[in-house]
Structure 1
Amino acid sequence: MRIFNTISEYGIISKSFHWITAILLFLQIPAGFYLVGLDFGETRITVENYHVIGGILIFYITILRLIYKIFNPTPSLNISLFPGQKLIAKLNHIFLYLTIFTITISGALKKLLGGEKLNIFISKIKIKSNFELAEIFYEVHIFANYTLIALISLHIFAVIIHKIVFKENILKKIT
């Protein structure tokens, strides 16, 4: 197994970024939905703390992943039947990254503007409360999460379509 990407396959670093992010997102999204239904108390504080840590971790992994992509070739896409596939795949990836950033930033701003502190690395950040803005960022956070779910669904659907319709195992490149 290669460490770095080649023109035909992903290396272990890219694969690790992909699957660690996927696992974290599959934990993070249900945790967010679970949080919405919780009353304020110890359980909510604990779940919310894990949710914040997970979100910040995904954010930093995504930044590292994008920096890594700058210096490493992306394997070429084997385009099946129609030329628009490459564009759709690229746009889906771009929107996945943008949505992850939107979710993290809006979640952090919702928390900070709602009067809470945010622990980033070893420092605590606190800004002046603005509950109206906090509510707006909460709505952005929710909308971006539904967008992320749609983009992930499209991503998975593409893998299934390639396997069933085009008889291509594109999942093999990233596993």
Structure 2
Amino acid sequence: MLKNTLSSYGLITKLFHWFIGIAIVGLLVIGFIMVSMLPSVDKWQLYSMHKATGVLVLFLVSLRVLWRWINVKLELPADLPLWQKLASKFTHSLLYIFMFLMPVSGILMSRFGGHEINIFNLFLIPPLEKNPVLASFFNNLHGVSAFVFAALIVLHISAGLYHHFVRKDNVLIRMIK
């Protein structure tokens, strides 16, 4: 089944979730690594791949949001305490905000820094007029957001494991099977 049902996520939702999730974790790990590297050819190649993959993730997240709007939304277990339902909605909202904030801030940081973005040798996103103040602002936003986003992802994964191992409900399973 491609679309969601009331009891399970469809294949397309699962593919969006897992592909985007793995890509984002990879981008965060590579991002944390490359900022600590000394200038080198390897570092600049990582930056290039990081930027291109970030743009791809932004595109996929946009598609995922459209898919989410036209699909059935699964409910949380009825016996889940209200505060956990609210925490889930709030956390998911923040995850979506950061799925857009991270690539947009990275793109603007690069473009205001006077750098083009090569998208896997398919096309280029040209630089904007160099603006060190805006480049620095988006650099700081991107860097701080990376830590907050990583913490939200750990919270999201922990909640899934809590549902599976402690509550023993189907919240995690319906995204896997």
Both structures adopt the same fold (TM-score exceeding 0.5): yes
**Is 1:147–2:115 an aligned residue pair?**
no
| Aligned-pair CA distance for 1:27 | 1.2
- Whole-Å Cα distance in 1 between the matches of residues 90 and 175 of structure 2? 18
| Aligned-pair CA distance for 1:141 | 0.2
| Aligned-pair CA distance for 1:38 | 1.7
Structure 1 residues 73-92: aligned runs within 5 Å? 73-92=72-91
| Aligned-pair CA distance for 1:147 | 1.1
Asked if structure 1 preserves the Cα contact closer than 8 Å seen for 2:160 and 2:172, the reply is: yes
Q: CA RMSD in A?
A: 1.5
Cross-structure match for 1:161: 162
- Residue deviations 1:26-85 (CA, integer Å, cap 9, x gap): 211110011111222211111011101111111111100000111111112114341122
| Aligned-pair CA distance for 1:123 | 4.1
Cross-structure match for 1:24: 23
Asked if structure 2 preserves the Cα contact closer than 8 Å seen for 1:79 and 1:85, the reply is: no
Cross-structure match for 1:115: 114
Runs of 4+ in 1 over 3 A off after TM superposition: none
Structure 1 residues 1-175: aligned runs within 5 Å? 2-119=1-118, 122-175=123-176
Query: What is the number of residues matched between the two proteins?
Result: 174
Asked if structure 1 preserves the Cα contact closer than 8 Å seen for 2:52 and 2:117, the reply is: no
What is the percent sequence identity of the aligned residues? 31
- In the alignment, residue 115 of structure 1 is paired with which amino acid? G
- Whole-Å Cα distance in 1 between the matches of residues 115 and 38 of structure 2? 17
- In the alignment, residue 163 of structure 2 is paired with which amino acid? H
- In the alignment, residue 137 of structure 1 is paired with which amino acid? F
Question: Under a length normalisation based on structure 2, what TM-score does the superposition of the two structures give?
Answer: 0.92
Judging changes above 3 Å, is the alpha-carbon distance between structure 1 residues 101 and 65 closer, same or farther for their aligned structure 2 residues? same
Judging changes above 3 Å, is the alpha-carbon distance between structure 1 residues 150 and 80 closer, same or farther for their aligned structure 2 residues? farther
